[in-house]
Amino acid sequence: MSKKEISSILLLGLLTGGAWATSSRPEEPLAPTPPMGWNSFDSYGVYLHEEAAYANLEAMAEKLKPHGYEYFVIDNGWFGEYALQEGTLFPAEKHAHDIRINEYGYFQASEVYFPNGLKPIVERAHELGLKFGIHLMRGIPRKAYELDLPIFGTPYTARDIANTDPKENCTWCTYCYAVDMSKPGAQAWYDGLIQYIADMGVDLIKYDDIVPHPDEVEAVAKAIAKTGRPIILSLSPGGQVDPNALDLFRKGNMLRVTADVWDEQYYIDACFDAWRKWQGKEQPGFWIDMDMIPFGQLQLMSPPSKDTSKSPMDKGDIALAGKGVRRQSRLTPPQMETFITMRALAASPLMMGGDLPTLDDFSLSLITNPEMIACNQNGVMGTLVHENAGIEIWKTNQKGTTTSGWIGIFNRTDEPSTFRLAQKHLELDGTGYRIVDVWRNKTVNFGETILLNAQGVLFLRFTSKQI
């Protein structure tokens, strides 16, 4: 089933479901299903350059677009003027020593990494039928504060609205100061910045360091609405998320609920914890986001150290953004199946993070599996229906019915385990179900004993034979 077909089904449900109907012909919400795309951070950190951007853009159009992926997102650092290692494009510093802004303090494309600007990349994305996304840091650039630049359309300047209190500012990226939303000119700052971004042709904004500051989330949402352009708002980071601010977070479309997720079991476990906490909080237009998919080649701009005594996960001779050095994803095949099954059943946005031109066939087969995508785009966050001795069973009904859907039987232990497929454990009523193992593409039956790999999963599609 294509994403277009799924969206049509979901729209029909919205139009007839009553709960969302505010008039006889309600508008479809932006992001009616979990957004799907590619983000540059896992593979290029904050050092994506023009050549790599075009290569990944063309690869995305070829490999992922036919399966419904549509957002091409450039992460942090696109405005940074980095010092480079001699004769290379590799950065010689973790954070840029300077950033490029215009006369109103708005970020501009780095002359180091994007000498031709972002406009040709945005235009190429749209030519390919893809949508373009960009990363922004919360607040106003410190450089704008130092230069005391004017707030567009107001008598105020950057120093009138900036909050320089260290407790209110990002500790891991110091390009910006917080904006004090109680000050005159504060909303105007965000209005002008977001209009500038909208005029670039941006279709998605990943706003970072903003989740701990719901007042600035609200300001950005207001600014987006004023542009009149349909822009997805993705809210980050997700390490500390206040559930009491959920109404304000719902002014966005994606809410990160995990810290950065990488290619180790620890991060898969963290996603399971987040799933338990946030299940049932999704709705059309608002999705619980467990971060990117770290499959394929990662950290291409972080070459391994020449010191052979260092661990392969060390950051090389220069501490760079991200985690580790250039490598193929360290997840085992069972871990990868668990990872993407969880994303499907949890209706988390599918944002691929690995390098697309060099993507291996197995990773590609997982992220483009039609049943996995159908489950994800069903837009229902699955619930935990059974757990015992390290086995967890999560279930997602197909929207509008209880007689079909998807089930994940996860082995959360480090040892292989057997599981007898019993109807009562799957919470399936009645008789006569066709059950298919999604990853093996074969039928399974009640009463069968299944061997589950360590940290592996049995991903099932169930359908009543009466349908």
CATH of domain 385-464: 2.60.40.1180
* Integer CA distances (angstroms), 436 to 278, 338, 371, 413, 458, in order: 28, 17, 10, 24, 10
Residue whose entry in the numeric block shows the structure tokens 């006369």: 103
DSSP β-bridge partners for residue 411: 391
d(CA 29, CA 174): 35
Residues 6+ apart with CB under 8 A from 22: none
Give the side-chain half-sphere CA count within 13 A for 298: 27
Domain ranges in the chain? Answer: 3-381, 385-464
* Number of neighbouring beta carbons within 10 Å of residue 15: 14
The pair of structure tokens assigned to 322 is 């991200």
What is the strand order of the sheet 176-179 is part of?
A: 140-141, 176-179, 162-163
Which is nearest to 268 in space by CA: 41, 417, 456? 456
Contact of 51 with 58, CB cutoff 8 Å: no
DSSP state of 383: E
pTM of whole model > 0.85? Answer: yes
What pLDDT tens digit does each residue of the chain (467 aa) get?
Answer: 444 444 444 443 433 333 333 334 457 889 999 999 999 999 999 999 999 999 999 999 999 999 999 999 999 999 999 999 999 999 999 999 999 999 999 999 999 999 999 999 999 999 999 999 999 999 999 999 999 999 999 999 999 999 999 999 999 999 999 999 999 999 999 999 999 999 999 999 999 999 999 999 999 999 999 999 999 999 999 888 999 999 999 999 999 999 999 999 999 999 999 999 999 999 999 999 999 999 999 999 998 887 877 776 776 778 899 999 999 999 999 999 999 999 999 999 999 999 999 999 999 999 999 999 999 999 999 999 999 999 999 999 999 998 999 999 999 999 999 989 988 888 888 778 999 999 999 999 999 999 999 999 999 999 998 76
Contact of 258 with 290, CB cutoff 8 Å: yes
CATH class of 3-381: alpha beta
DSSP strands (E only) in 297-441: 297-298, 327-328, 350-352, 383-388, 391-397, 404-411, 417-420, 433-437
For the packed helices 119-127 and 50-63, what is the interaxial angle rounded to 10 degrees? 10
